[in-house]
Chain A
Amino acid sequence: MNSTKEFIKELSEKYGKERKSLMPILQKIVERNSYLSVDAMREVAQILDISAAEVYGTASFFSFLDTQARGKYKIRVCKSITCDMKGKSEILKTIENILKIKVGETSKEGKFSLLETNCLGWCHKGPAMLINDEVYTELTPEKIRNVLSEYIRERK
């Protein structure tokens, strides 16, 4: 695999070097590296001739444009009002207890990160969460235990 620097250069050729190319470039980097490193953001700034603060401002606006290295499995629990009212807090507490990490933290062996996210669009089946790109809905503590134990046993 080529370096992130080369990858960003390719992306800038594909999407262009205008300000509007910032979003697709950032998304592709996250798709490839799972997060935006300090160096990657600086590289993007340089290639688009904008400031690093501007890149970070855009990245930090979106939950899915992570600016920190995370675990192999990113658990994102929906924090919107609907999921909250349908029992999100209990879900979070259950995950925290099982994985022994708090929101924003990554487990010691680097396997799981627990995050909150804005609305996933599953309000009708809340509370909802994502593990990487997989969506899990109508969560209960029971269901959480089943799902997580599979990941712990490394289902895939």
Chain B
Amino acid sequence: MTNNNITLTIDGTTVTVEKGTSVLDAAKKVDIKIPTLCHHEDLCVAGNCRVCVVEEIGKKTLTASCATPATEGMNILTSSPKVRRARKDVMALLVSEHNTQCTTCYRNRNCELQTLASEYNVDNNIYLSVLKDSTIDKSSWSIEKDDSKCIRCQRCVRTCAEIQHVNALSVTEKGRDMRVSTFMHFPLNEIVCTNCGQCIIHCPTGALTERRYYDDIWEAIDNPEKHVVINTAPSVRVALGEMLGYEPGKIVTGKMVTALKKIGFDSVLDTDFTADLTIMEEGSELLDRLKRALVDKEQVALPMITSCSPGWVKFIEHMYPEHLEHLSSCKSPQQMFGAVVKTYYAEKKGIDPKNIVCVAGMPCAAKKYEANRPEMRDSGYQDVDAGLTTREIGHMIKQSGLKFEDLEDGEFDSHMGVSTGAGVIFGATGGVMEAALRTAYFIITGRPVPFKNLNILPVRGLESIKEATVKLENCLPEYKFLEGVELKVAIAHGLTNARVIMDQIVDGKSPYHFIEIMACPGGCIGGGGQPIPTTDEVRKKRMDAIYEEDMGKPIRMSHENPNIAQIYKEFLEKPLGEKSHHLLHTKYRKRKRY
């Protein structure tokens, strides 16, 4: 045994842990569960809720196990009468400040405070309610903030600071007036917020939730004049199961499609199709930029950065407004979908686009904001009428009364329903890069990318910033200018990591040609609209499911998608063509940093 190990006793069980391990984690190691509220494995220790208190024999006062490092010979009791009394008291105090209208809460039965209060049978009558008056902030397209449900654990504050480096939320005032709020208590739509929704999936209660649109969708479905189309993002199918009784990592694509058709959507399509379209456009844009830089010796903004993640796009607009030219001009797959649904699809189906309601099923809170950007109306209508989160779709399926687990597997509708494995992997960090490399390498060399089974492993996984180099050799005559070039790429997820990448660009020291950035940790599979809880363990399982779905697809490169060939032939003509430029590309705006 080295000096780095510590042995302690927890509830009579001896456990050896590495130095620096908290008592809470030591207990986890021997399967002793200590309740927590302010603690989240993604975040730094706060130690403010006091729910995790334990008794150390020989000490007078109880200690917070999340914030106490294990020491040699410690003897801990996690469930002594003293501990249980204190814990129940802490919970009762939290409940006394809480809006306990659980039946009307969106997080009902998915709330950590509710679960603990129920487990400990907290008596409502110990303390009088001291709930303060507050109004719900519904100003944002994406996020609702209800202070009456806030337990002031500050997980959202830490999330916004540590994971996203945005710091939109802060602790304001003090004592009994202390609250989690914004600059000058301004409403969410007036502050610097990326709408990523990470605060939502880290909130233990219903204080932060996404703005819900499903009632509007039910209305549209019920309206015989409306043709309601939904497209679902790749990461929804590997997470939706968690809303409906399955373990994380279950692929429910077929059942999801059947459920959405039974609910009454007139057409159920696959966002993967426009992910493939994104690859065609974005890949062509990258090759165009490289050609202009290397052959025409023009001043071109390189590296080029992906623009699929609306949280990331708003982040760069606020934080690096002078560097927007690095962003690909491609709209996100969601917005490309809306633009072609109300043009190409409407034409093909013979439906007046004004009667089409385009819904996007997304793992995301920021997509709701994106759908409402004023510039996203290139079809002549609002391209995407509403964005639903994975959670909202789960709720809709529950509301419909369908027995999800008994549903037969269905198929996406045709026209924009066929997709490739490349489209599927958009859902995981590194996926857009992998999909782009599969197609770009093929276009440049006429050969598949030189990785076994097309699996570009260096760009996969949860590492904060990933890098890869692909050497371009034996290029086709058209791309001789790339002969011998080592294409350098990077992938970042979580906006704190994006900042590292951007600071390199600002300093002129970025060694890359192409960068993928996703606002949320893990990419879309860890998005702000995904089922709660989302932890690294859950992210990994969803990610494995994404790559499993990719391997199961007969076509795994975007340019081989027959629907893609068809849309270019019948409608768009060619990547970066005039029509593509009008419908599939966009401009960004400089926003205020403060």
Contact = CB atoms under 8 A, between A and B. Distances in A.
Interface of A: 38, 41-42, 45-46, 50-57, 60-61, 67
A103 to B, nearest CB: 13
A53 B174 contact: no
Contacts of B593: 46
A53 B173 contact: no
B167 A51 contact: yes
Interface residues of B, number: 17
A55 B376 CA distance: 34
A55 to B, nearest CB: 8
B192 A51 contact: yes
Which of B171, B191, B593, B594 has the most chain A CB atoms closer than 10 A to its own CB? B594
B269 to A, nearest CB: 39
Contact of B167 (A46, A53, A60, A67): A53
A104 to B, nearest CB: 12
B166 interface: yes
Contacts of B183: 41, 51-53, 55-56
Nearest to B174: A61
A53 B169 CA distance: 6
B184 A57 contact: no
Nearest to A38: B184
Contacts of A55: 183
B172 interface: yes
B168 interface: yes
Interface in B399-418: none
Interface in B157-208: 166-174, 181-184, 191-192
Contact of A57 (B166, B170, B192, B594): B170
Given A42-B594, A46-B593, A46-B594, A54 B184 contact: no
B172 A52 contact: no
Nearest to A49: B593
Contacts of B184: 38, 41, 52, 56, 67
Which of A42, A46, A50, A54 has the most chain B CB atoms closer than 10 A to its own CB? A54
A38 to B, nearest CB: 6
B342 to A, nearest CB: 38
A57 B168 CA distance: 11
A42 B173 CA distance: 18
Which of A38, A55, A60 has the most chain B CB atoms closer than 10 A to its own CB? A60
Nearest to A55: B183
B33 to A, nearest CB: 33
Contacts of A50: 167
Contact of A56 (B166, B170, B174, B192): B170
Given A57-B170, A60-B174, 17 more contacts: A42-B594, A46-B593, A51-B167, A51-B168, A51-B170, A52-B191, A53-B167, A53-B168, A53-B169, A53-B170, A53-B182, A53-B183, A54-B167, A54-B170, A60-B173, A61-B172, A61-B174
6 contacts: A51-B167, A51-B168, A52-B594, A53-B167, A56-B182, A60-B173
B404 to A, nearest CB: 41
Which applies to chain A's interface (DSSP): helix, strand, loop or mixed? Answer: helix
Contacts of B170: 51, 53-54, 56-57
Nearest to A53: B170
A63 to B, nearest CB: 9
A57 B182 CA distance: 8
B147 to A, nearest CB: 15
Contacts of B191: 52-53
Contacts of A38: 184
Contacts of A67: 184
Interface in B545-565: none
Interface string B64-85: 0000000000000000000000
Which 10 pairs show the lowest CB-CB distances between chains A and B? A51-B167, A57-B170, A53-B170, A52-B183, A42-B594, A53-B183, A60-B172, A56-B183, A52-B594, A60-B173
Which of A53, A54, A61 has the most chain B CB atoms closer than 10 A to its own CB? A53
Which of B166, B171, B184 has the most chain A CB atoms closer than 10 A to its own CB? B184
A13 to B, nearest CB: 20
Contacts of A53: 167-170, 181-183, 191
Nearest to A52: B183
A57 B169 CA distance: 9
Nearest to B180: A57
Nearest to A50: B167
A57 B191 CA distance: 14
A52 B171 contact: no
A56 B172 CA distance: 7
A51 B172 CA distance: 13
Contacts of A61: 172-174
Nearest to B592: A42
Nearest to B177: A60
Nearest to A44: B594
A155 to B, nearest CB: 34
A59 to B, nearest CB: 9
Contacts of A54: 167, 170
Contact of A52 (B173, B174, B192): B192
B160 to A, nearest CB: 9
Which of A41, A51, A67 has the most chain B CB atoms closer than 10 A to its own CB? A51
Contact of A51 (B166, B171, B173): B166
Nearest to A42: B594
A27 B166 CA distance: 25
A3 to B, nearest CB: 17
Contacts of A42: 594
Contacts of B166: 51
Contacts of B167: 50-51, 53-54
